[in-house]
Amino acid sequence: MTSPVRTERHGDILVIISDSPPVNALGAAVRDGLEAGVKEGVADASIAAMVLRCDGRTFFAGADITEFGKPPKGASLHEAIDMMDASPKPIVAAIHGTALGGGCEVALACHYRVAVPSAKLGLPEVKLGLLPGAGGTQRLPRVVGVKAALEMIAIGDPIPAQKAADVGLVDKVVGEGSLEADAIAFAREIAAARPIPRVRDKAAAPDPDAVEAFRKANGRKMRGFDAPEACIACVVAASEKPFEEGMTFEREQFMKLMTGTQSAAQRHIFFAERQAAKIDDVDPKTPLRPINRVGVIGAGTMGGGISMNFLSAGIAVTIVEMQQEALDRGTGVMRKNYEASAAKGRIKPDAPEKAMGLLKPTLNLDDLADCDLIIEAVYENMDVKKDIFTKLDAIAKPGAILASNTSYLDIDAIATVTKRPEDVVGMHFFSPANVMKLLEVVRGEKTAKDVLATVMDLAKKIRKVAVVAGVCHGFIGNRMLAPRQLEANKLLMEGATPQQIDKVHTDFGMPMGPFQMADLAGVDIGWHRDPSRIESIRDALAAEGRWGQKKGAGFYDYDEKRNPTPSPRVAEIIEDFRSRSNMQKREITDQEIVERTLYPMVNEGALILEEGKAQRASDIDVVWIYGYGWPVYRGGPMFWAQTEGLPKVVAGLEKHGFKVAQSLKTAADTGGSFK
Ligand code: 3H9
């Protein structure tokens, strides 16, 4: 097999080049090639210095994650890196694309770093539940100091080349189109400089204040995760221990994380997210329909949020409302949202004007005639949606994609009112639509393959994570939410409190529990609006005007800052409803809440898979991570069920009288996993 690493001589400079698509991950063959390249440069008396660069779209994007958990092969990354570090001739890392993880660690072990302006450098291992395990935690603080290293290692966001130069991580920012030539020239300049600068020889000053401030600023974000604390401990070690001791400490911490379930879950999600973009029976080379202008019907919270996604990506939007006042209100909210983001420095100062400049507000549905994609985002009512799609069929140009943002309704039924059901698709955004990453793409019976391919591609452009779902009530996410909510309500009747049930969910790592969610969304949603008809605790709350956060009262009482406290009135309502239903109150354990609210979600997920409404179990996990805030360190409900043990899940479901999905039973009985 030919090596992915080759060398080229440019006078007294040896250029070592890796060419391992797609991202030059540091797999066994690349590591072996690097060792061979450096050996060649060291052994050859005519070589004064070396340049290390990559072909393709990026410098090394990290260790090869697919090798994790498998028996080691070839030179280890440590060995390759140690060899570079120890080279008696200087090595210059020439960086383009993204030098991430092990790639950034390779660059840190080189003696100099040059980068093009568009390059980014970072140590994102924490996002995989890991820490930089090839010396990154020990070398980076020695270069950029404890404070900057904490940000890069324990948060994991990469930094652009210029910022890297400002903090000393990059020695020189070179020409965008002349990386190799500039790196060779730089190598010639430093070839004779002695001593060769080695990061390991530097010291990082201890900075306990920075550590404390970092913990304080990021505590919430890091809650529940193991990796960030281990990252912090390693950065502190870099400032307190000699290099080799720090390396030993880093290794121990890395192995602990690597063998734990959190990292397995986070790595699962890394691949699951990328897998979700693939549709089994749709060729990735399917020609796409051009999307230059998007139409959005409805300028409410949802329509406005949806429009912002496209505007932010530079795609023109025509937004339609029925009344001028509603249109003005909707576009006003969008402008305010943009301005708030600009004020916080999240977007450039001129971004609000740019985005709003691409928006065409109108009261006339006929103005959608030039749109390539039209998304209907009005309220959930089949008759209303059918009426809109009938009109759209007459207005939209041939080939335009007609999408509904429905969260429950039957896309096939909506498609029947058009003469082009192949152009109809569901695009289910999650609220707030400009923030939440998930997009459920609902594939109707007749949806054309190129429509699906186009929508999946567009999702990437607007930075959403798209998952394909089949037509069923609530699709993937909301369908699985339903049994959870049902059981949570039953548990209230049996003796649990809203706060106990919610706490089990937040302790699990969810951003909120079922009743906090109900209060946020609105207790009155789906209410029959007849105060005399009290058929559930929820009806009783709605009848009293306890509609949730917006009314200052729901399952909880709220102060003016929307801080919740348990409500004595709600306790009374529950007590009253319980006694009228002739039910006995009993003690409910937290474990029972887990078994009755989370296990049924897994069961529903298994049914969704059986019915072919999701392509794969990992797609369901992606839905829950990006649509509902399921803790990524638990890998989504289907992955979590496997860490919990499928036989245990089945036994729990059976104990509480649930009908267990056949595929779940089979997987549990055969020691298998979800496919
Ligand atoms: C590490 O380095 C540990 C060390 O500290 C210590 C070791 C001892 N390995 O994302 P894309 C695949 S941990 C294997 O769609 P983009 C990816 O699955 C690593 N495969 O492209 C996909 O495959 P497919 C630290 C990888 O342009 C294809 O490449 N590094 C790896 O949108 C294209 O990826 C990271 O965490 C990998 N490391 O984004 C960086 N990376 O086509 C992880 C990617 O079959 N990578 N693949 O679906 C990324 O963040 C993005 O992939 C990157 C490109 C920004 C590089």
CA–CA separation, 495 vs 632, rounded Å?
Answer: 31
ipTM of the complex: 0.98
* Cα of 61 from ligand 1 centre, angstroms: 6
187-207 confidence digits (pLDDT tens): 999 999 999 999 999 999 999
To test the pocket of ligand 1, the residue of 65, 96, 258 to mutate (highest count of ligand atoms within 8 Å of its CB) is 65
* Cα of 63 from ligand 1 centre, angstroms: 8
46-101 confidence digits (pLDDT tens): 999 999 999 999 999 999 999 998 888 988 999 999 999 999 999 999 999 999 99
Give the residues across from 112 on adjacent strands.
92
Q: Is the pLDDT of residue 655 over 80?
A: yes
**Residues lining ligand 1, Cβ inside 6 A:** 22-23, 25, 58, 61-66, 77, 98, 100-102, 105, 124-125, 128, 130, 132-134, 136, 271, 274
Give the residues across from 443 on adjacent strands.
470
To test the pocket of ligand 1, the residue of 18, 20, 23, 76 to mutate (highest count of ligand atoms within 8 Å of its CB) is 23
- Placement of tokens 């305010």 in the chain: 336
Contact between 18 and 55 (Cβ < 8 Å) = yes
Give residue 463's pLDDT band: very low, low, confident or very high (50, 70, 90).
very high
Q: Is the pLDDT of residue 673 over 90?
A: no
Q: Is the pLDDT of residue 32 over 80?
A: yes
Set out the domains of the chain in order of their start, with CATH numbers: 5-258 (3.90.226.10), 293-473 (3.40.50.720), 496-585 (1.10.1040.50), 603-613+622-670 (1.10.1040.10)
Q: Is the pLDDT of residue 675 over 80?
A: no
- Comparing CA positions, the residue from 385, 375, 390, 389 lying closest to residue 408 is 385
Long-range pairs for 559-564 at CB < 8 Å and ≥24 separation? 564/516, 564/519
Residue closest via CA to ligand 1's atom 23 equals 274
Q: Could you tell me which residues come within 8 angstroms of residue 439 by beta carbon, excluding any fewer than 6 positions away?
A: 427, 428, 429, 430, 459, 464, 465, 466, 467
* Cα of 608 from ligand 1 centre, angstroms: 29
CA–CA separation, 482 vs 407, rounded Å?
Answer: 13
pTM of the model: 0.94
Residue closest via CA to ligand 1's atom 5 equals 132
Length of the chain as a residue count: 675
The pLDDT value given to residue 672: 79
* Cα of 470 from ligand 1 centre, angstroms: 29
CA–CA separation, 452 vs 440, rounded Å?
Answer: 11
607-624 confidence digits (pLDDT tens): 999 999 999 999 999 999
